Amino acid sequence: MALLSIDQVSVAYDKVEAVRGVSLAIEPGQIVTVIGPNGAGKTTLLGAAIGLLPWRGRMSFDGIDLRRLDVEARIERGFCLVPETRELFGDLSVSDNLLLGGYSRRRDSAGVKRSLADVYGRFPRLSERRNQKASTLSGGERQMLALGRALMAKPRLLMLDEPSLGLAPIIVREVFRIIASLRELGVSILLVEQNARAALETADFGYVLETGEIVHSGAAADLMHDPRVTASYLGGH
Amino acid sequence: MNGEIAAILAMDGIASGAIYVLIGLGLVLIFAVTRVIFVPFGDIAAFTALSLASLETGGRPGTVGLVAVLAVLATAVEAIALARNRAFHRLPRALLFYLVLPLIPAAAVWFAAGTTLSMPLRIVLSLALVLPIAPLLDRIVFRPIADASVLLLLTVAVALHFALSGLGLMFFGPEGVRTKPLTDAVFDVAGLIVNGQMLLILAASIVFCGLLFLYFEFTIQGKALRATAVNRVGARLVGIRPTSTGTIAYLLASLLAGISGVLIAPVTTIFYDSGFLLGLKAFVGAIIGAMVSYPVTALGAVMVGLLESFTSFWLSAYKEVLVFSLLIPVLLWRSLSFAGTEEEEAEE
Ligand SMILES: Nc1ncnc2c1ncn2[C@@H]1O[C@H](COP(=O)(O)OP(=O)(O)O)[C@@H](O)[C@H]1O
Ligand SMILES: [Mg+2]
């Protein structure tokens, strides 16, 4: 059974539909990517899936109808989002941001402590800056913090919205390396990217979203060689 | 004015300032977490004083009726919301939180009325009685419009103040009260007579400011409150429910206001509507702290207390006028620095 199943979902801002009849599925342990140009509706789709935007259609996570869960209940069940805007707690320290990432597991303080050590191990830069305010971090460090904060919730499915946005190429490579390594933790990933090449290289399966609709889908390796995809998204070769 | 009078006025000012500090911090706390400028907040202090006075004379405080009315209303609002979402399985929990828990102290007071209670017990009971008022008002009035603009929330808060004044008159009556002093101790400090009540006010204010600081710095719930204040969407994304942190903020703030009510009741006559001026003076302190800074709010509140004390000596007829006139330059100065902070945020 799919971990996340999205079936004929539409999302509208007032009257304008930004996502129309989208269906996709993520199996446990998979990395699935949704690529597409700016304004295609990728962020809107993730916002609806996490429960921040109203939607029509059917969605379920781990067999539970998502209509019955609010955002916080999704997080408690390990369905998490690192949004495009990151939404860090700028005024709080790096370590407080991470601790709050484990808020949904606050009754398991030993587990939270272990996760914190694990995140610091994975992101040594965050460990060095643990007492600094989140607002003083560089773009790359913020992205690490956003990822680390989400990992503190022990996610089973992590949705990442443009994790490479605005980062220097060397840091982009680092971010994708970390995403690939999350698979070993048993975390499934829904990766939204404009950087189509890196996303398809990392993912198992891919969807192409254009003006709110899925126009292609397939195994990531196949999409990389699909002429319709290479022409528009991979610099045409 | 000689040095001795100045010292007495200063002490007086700091003591009333300490009261405004507790209320002002509560105002900032509620605003930070819920974006509501809780105008009727001073009423929580006044209602605590009135409850305490009533328990002292063996009466049955009007708070019992007030809390009962609010609990029933809040339960109804919650039940309707649950029915609309077909979330009937959450009904028992709603009954517990909006009906049973708020009514426990009310029931205890109902049955204890007429018996003689010790002073600490009276204080604890009055605080417990008053604690549910603000969270219940939140459920009834503010939660249905939680996403509204700060201005709309403020307008509703002002309307709520008038509603609460009406209820206050209905449940407490028009008489003013003054409770027995908490201590009769008098100290002689370098030739100045310092009464124990004043020291108690000061000590309580310092202790509770310290506790609030520790709560914010060292507990996950305290950090969750700060997180909600800093970024509501971010808070939701880590599983913090803004409605829950809002309730905690209302409870904590009510505790601070309740304590200030207990402290002020022996030194000032309190009427059902005395809360408004108390709240307004604390609000001046909170505005000096730009509704965000706890330490500056505390300083501002002490300043208000001092100003009030000295103007009451020189120009007692204009005391209130002068205190509130202070708001104008402060608001001007603050609106300039507000613009500055907004630019900073836009850069993020
Ligand atoms: N808050 C909003 N209100 C109205 N329209 C919006 C809003 N956010 C996004 N849109 C519109 O929805 C469409 C999809 O946007 P978005 O989901 O952000 O695309 P992507 O993430 O793929 O770049 C765009 O046409 C955008 O203009
Ligand atoms: Mg986007």
> CB B239 to CB A90 under 8 A?
no
Burial profile A14-29: b = 16 or more Cβ within 10 angstroms, e = fewer? eeebbbbebebbbeee
CA gap B16, B35 in Å, rounded: 27
Burial profile B285-321: b = 16 or more Cβ within 10 angstroms, e = fewer? bbbbbbbeebebbbbbbbbbbbbbbbbbeeeeeebee
Residue reference for tokens 């079936």: A7
Alpha-carbon radius of gyration of chain A: 17
Residue reference for tokens 């996760």: A115
**Boundaries of every domain in chain B:** 21-272+290-298
> CB B239 to CB A83 under 8 A?
no
Q: What is the pLDDT of residue A77?
A: 96
Which of A122, A104, A166 minimizes the C-alpha distance to B348?
A166
Residues A109, A117 contacting (CB under 8 angstroms): no
- Chain B residue closest to A69 (CA)? B87
**Beta carbon of A43 within 6 Å of any ligand 1 atom:** yes
Q: Write down the ipTM of this complex.
A: 0.94
**Beta carbon of A6 within 6 Å of any ligand 1 atom:** no
Q: Which has the minimum average pLDDT: A23-27, A156-160, B171-175?
A: B171-175
Which of B146, B179, B167, B176 minimizes the C-alpha distance to B40?
B167
**Beta carbon of A85 within 6 Å of any ligand 1 atom:** no
User: In the 3-class helix/strand/coil scheme, how is chain A assigned residue by residue?
Assistant: CCCEEEEEEEEEECCEEEEEEEEEEECCCCEEEEECCCCCCHHHHHHHHHCCCCCEEEEEECCEEHHHCCHHHHHHCCEEEECCCCCCCCCCEHHHHHHHHCHHHCCCHHHHHHHHHHHHHHCHHHHHCCCCEHHHCCHHHHHHHHHHHHHCCCCCEEEEECCCCCCCHHHHHHHHHHHHHHHHHCCEEEEEECCHHHHHHHCCEEEEEECCEEEEEEEHHHHHHCHHHHHHHCCCC
Which of B46, B74, B77 minimizes the C-alpha distance to B62?
B46
Which of A21, A31, A27, A105 minimizes the C-alpha distance to A62?
A27
Residue nearest ligand 1's atom 24 by CA: A39
Query: What is the rounded average pLDDT for all residues in chain B?
Result: 87
Cβ neighbours of A161 in B, within 8 Å: none
The minimal CB distance from A87 to the residues B223, B231, B241 is found for: B231
Which of B59, B58, B62 minimizes the C-alpha distance to B70?
B62
CA torsion A110-A114-A119-A121 (nearest 10°) is 150
> CB B238 to CB A101 under 8 A?
yes
**pLDDT per residue over B256-309, tens digit each?**
999 999 999 998 899 988 999 899 889 888 888 878 888 888 998 998 899 888
The average pLDDT across B26-34 equals 92
> Sorting pLDDT into bands at 50, 70 and 90, what band is B320?
confident
Cβ neighbours of A152 in B, within 8 Å: 238
Q: What is the pLDDT of residue B230?
A: 93
Residue nearest ligand 1's atom 4 by CA: A13
CA gap B205, B151 in Å, rounded: 31
The protein residues having their C-beta less than 5 angstroms from ligand 2 (an ion) are A 42-43, 84
Q: What is the pLDDT of residue B114?
A: 74
State the nearest Cα–Cα gap between B242 and chain A, in angstroms.
10
The average pLDDT across A174-196 equals 90
The length of chain B is 348
Is 50 exceeded by the pLDDT of residue B244? Answer: yes
Residues B130, B32 contacting (CB under 8 angstroms): no
The length of chain A is 237
Antiparallel, parallel or unpaired: β A79-82 and A64-65 = unpaired
Q: What is the pLDDT of residue A183?
A: 86
Antiparallel, parallel or unpaired: β A188-193 and A31-35 = parallel
Amino acid identity for residue B263 in this structure: L
- Which residues does A contribute to its contact with B (CB < 8 Å)? 50, 52, 70-72, 75-76, 80-81, 83, 85, 87-92, 96, 99-104, 106, 135, 149, 152-153
State the nearest Cα–Cα gap between B347 and chain A, in angstroms.
10
Which of B345, B294, B343, B326 minimizes the C-alpha distance to B21?
B294
Which of A199, A219, A201, A230 minimizes the C-alpha distance to A33?
A199
**pLDDT per residue over B211-243, tens digit each?**
999 999 999 999 999 999 999 999 999 999 999
The pair of three-digit structure tokens given for residue B278, joined into one six-digit string: 């108390």
Antiparallel, parallel or unpaired: β B186-189 and B192-195 = antiparallel
Residue A125 CA to ligand 2 center (angstroms) comes to 26
**Beta carbon of A223 within 6 Å of any ligand 1 atom:** no
Q: Measured between CB atoms, does B223 come within 8 Å of chain A?
A: yes
The pair of three-digit structure tokens given for residue A18, joined into one six-digit string: 């930004």
Residues A17, A45 contacting (CB under 8 angstroms): no
Q: What is the pLDDT of residue B11?
A: 86
The average pLDDT across A136-158 equals 95
The pair of three-digit structure tokens given for residue B13, joined into one six-digit string: 């000012």
Amino acid identity for residue B229 in this structure: A
Residues A229, A210 contacting (CB under 8 angstroms): no
Which of A90, A106, A224, A211 minimizes the C-alpha distance to A145?
A90
The minimal CB distance from B226 to the residues A72, A92, A102 is found for: A92
Q: Measured between CB atoms, does B90 come within 8 Å of chain A?
A: no
Residue nearest ligand 1's atom 9 by CA: A44
**Nearest ligand to the C-alpha of residue A19?**
1
Q: What is the pLDDT of residue B6?
A: 85
> CB A80 to CB B237 under 8 A?
yes
The average pLDDT across A226-230 equals 84
The average pLDDT across A1-14 equals 94
Q: What is the pLDDT of residue A230?
A: 82
Residue nearest ligand 1's atom 14 by CA: A41
The pair of three-digit structure tokens given for residue B1, joined into one six-digit string: 């004015």
Query: What is the rounded average pLDDT for all residues in chain A?
Result: 93
Residue A38 CA to ligand 2 center (angstroms) comes to 7
**CA distances for B344 relative to A89, A133, B348, angstroms:** 15, 15, 7
**Nearest ligand to the C-alpha of residue A165?**
2
Residue A173 CA to ligand 2 center (angstroms) comes to 20
The pair of three-digit structure tokens given for residue A186, joined into one six-digit string: 């048993």
Q: Which has the minimum average pLDDT: A70-84, A103-117, B300-314?
A: B300-314
User: In the 3-class helix/strand/coil scheme, how is chain B assigned residue by residue?
Assistant: CCHHHHHHHHHHHHHHHHHHHHHHHHHHHHHHHHCCCCCCHHHHHHHHHHHHHHHHCCCCCCHHHHHHHHHHHHHHHHHHHHHHCCCHHHHHHHHHHHHHHHHHHHHHHHHHCCCCCCHHHHHHHHHHHHCCHHHHHHHHHHHHHCCCCHHHHHHHHHHHHHHHHHHHHHHHCCCCECCCCCCCCEEEECCEEEEHHHHHHHHHHHHHHHHHHHHHHHCHHHHHHHHHHHCHHHHHHCCCCHHHHHHHHHHHHHHHHHHHHHHHCCCCCECCCCHHHHHHHHHHHHHHCCCCCHHHHHHHHHHHHHHHHHHHHHCHHHHHHHHHHCHHHHHHHHHHHHHHHHHHHHHC
